[in-house]
Amino acid sequence: MSRRVVITGMGAITPLGHDLPSTWEAIVAGRSGVAQITKFDTTGYRSTIAAEIKGFKASDHFPPKEARRTDEFVQYALVAAREAVRDAALPREAGVGERTAVIIGSGIGGIRTTTQQTLILAERGPHRVSPFLIPMILPDTAAGMVAIEFGLKGPNMAVTSACASGANAIGEAYEIVRRGAADVALCGGTEAGIVPIALAGFAVMGALSERTEAPERASRPFDRGRDGFVIGEGAAILVLEEREHALARGATIRAELLGYGATDDAFHIAAPDENGDGAIACMRQALASAGLAPEEIDYINAHGTSTPLNDVIETRAIKAVFGDHARRLAVSSTKSMTGHLLGAAGALEVVLSVRALETQCIPPTINLDDPDPECDLDYVPHTARPAPLRAVLSNSFGFGGHNACLVIGRAGQGTA
C-alpha cells in the first residue's frame, strides 16, 4: 500500500518578498513584483522589465567566501530551504539525514556565472576562469548544497524540465517518499535567470512582454491585451514527509500532497500542443493518482503565463478535463503578480496553493481588464476571494512540451 505524503514546511524568496509570509501578504493584496530591470543596462533590449528580487544581499545570508563561490540560484535555494526547515521544525538527530531526500529543479542553473566567466575567458584568458565555475553552474548544485548544509544523505538530484522543473521536482520527491525510499524530502525549484543573454534570447523568440511603459501591468494572463510573459527569479522549497513519520514527531501538517501527473506534448520545442492533449493527459493523470473526480477540485492555480498561445490552450484543456464543472471552478494565475520564475515557478505555485488551502482564500489574477473571449472561465480577477477549498490543482507546462500537475488537499479534510 502506498504511503501518504504530507507537507510540513515551506519557504520562499520571491519578487514579492524575502520569505513566505511577506510573499503571501503581497499575493492577497494583489501587488505586482514587476518593474524596470536594475541588474544591468537594458539599452537596446526589446523588453526591459522583469520581476526581480528586491534588496537581496548575499552577505546578509552567507559568509563572504561562500557568497563568492555560489551562484544566485543556489543562494536563493538555500534561503528558501532554511525557512522551510525552520517551518517544519525538522530535527537533525541521527537517522533523519539518511532518510531525507533533496530534489530541487532549475531550468537554466547558474547562467549568471556562465555569462560572467565567458566574458573573463574572452577578455583575460583561460587561466583566469574561476576554479569554482563548474560547481557554480551545474543545476544539481542547489540540491547538493542544501544537503551539505543540513546533513541530508538520502536521494539527491536536480530536475530540469524547463518551466515545469519545480513542479516535477516536487512530484518526483512525492514518489520517492510514497514508495518508501525516504521518509522526508526537501524539494522545489530555484532560478536566477535575469541576465542579459536570457533576456535577449527570450525576447527575440517573441516570448516576453514588451509592455515596458507600465511594468506592473505587463503580466496579464487571460487578458485580450497580453503579449508575453515577464521573466522572474526566486526559489520555493517544501518539506514533504510520510504522514506517520510526521505525526510521530508531532509535526504540524499544512496540507497533503494527493496526486502527481507528468506528460509531454511531443509536439514542438517551444510551443504548446495546439489541442492541449499533453496538458489534458497530465491533469487527468494527476486526478487519477489522487483518486479524485474532477468535481472534487475547487481551485486551479493555472500555468497562466500571459502568452497568447498558453492561456487559450490551457483554458481549452481545463474545459476538456472538467467539463461542466469548469464553469464552477475558480482558476487564477499568480504569475500576474510574481512574473514567471521559470524553473522555480511550479514550486512557488504549489506553495501558494497550500496557502490558499490554509487560509481559504483564492489568489487573484491581476490586470485582467479585458478578458479574451476564448478565455471564459472564472479567473478571480483583480481581488483575492474567500472560498471553501478542499482540494486544488497546480499546473506547470514547459518548453519542450513538459507538463507537470500536482493535486494538494487541505489538512484535516478527509486527507491528513
**pLDDT computed for residue 95 by the predictor:** 62
Each residue of 51-78: pLDDT tens digit?
999 999 999 999 999 999 999 999 999 9
Q: Which of the residues are catalytic?
A: 163, 303, 340
**pLDDT computed for residue 28 by the predictor:** 98
**Mean pLDDT, the chain, integer:** 96
297 band by pLDDT with thresholds 50, 70 and 90: very high
92 band by pLDDT with thresholds 50, 70 and 90: confident
Question: What are the grid coordinates assigned to 222, written together?
Answer: 487571460
**pLDDT computed for residue 94 by the predictor:** 54
Going by C-beta distance under 8 Å and a sequence separation of 6 or more, which residues neighbour residue 333? 221, 222, 301, 302, 303, 304, 305, 306, 365, 379
Torsion of CA 5, 8, 12, 18, to 10 degrees: 180
**pLDDT computed for residue 404 by the predictor:** 98
pLDDT of residue 415 exceeding 70, the answer is no
Q: Specify the CATH architecture of the domain 5-248.
A: 3-Layer(aba) Sandwich (3.40)
Per domain, the residue ranges of the chain are 5-248, 258-410
Q: Write the burial class of residue 322 (CB in 10 Å: 0-12 exposed, 13-18 middle, 19+ buried).
A: buried
Share of residues in the chain with pLDDT > 70 (%): 98
The DSSP letter of residue 363 is P
Three-class secondary structure of residue 232 per DSSP: strand
pTM for this prediction: 0.97
96 band by pLDDT with thresholds 50, 70 and 90: confident
Each residue of 9-40: pLDDT tens digit?
999 999 999 999 999 999 999 999 999 999 99
**pLDDT computed for residue 416 by the predictor:** 43
**Domain 258-410 of CATH type 3.40.47.10:** yes
pLDDT of residue 376 exceeding 60, the answer is yes
User: Would 5-248 and 258-410 be classified into the same CATH topology?
Assistant: yes
Query: How far is it, in rounded angstroms, from Cα 228 to Cα 47?
Result: 10
Residues 7, 256 contacting (CB under 8 angstroms): yes
Each residue of 300-320: pLDDT tens digit?
999 999 999 999 999 999 999
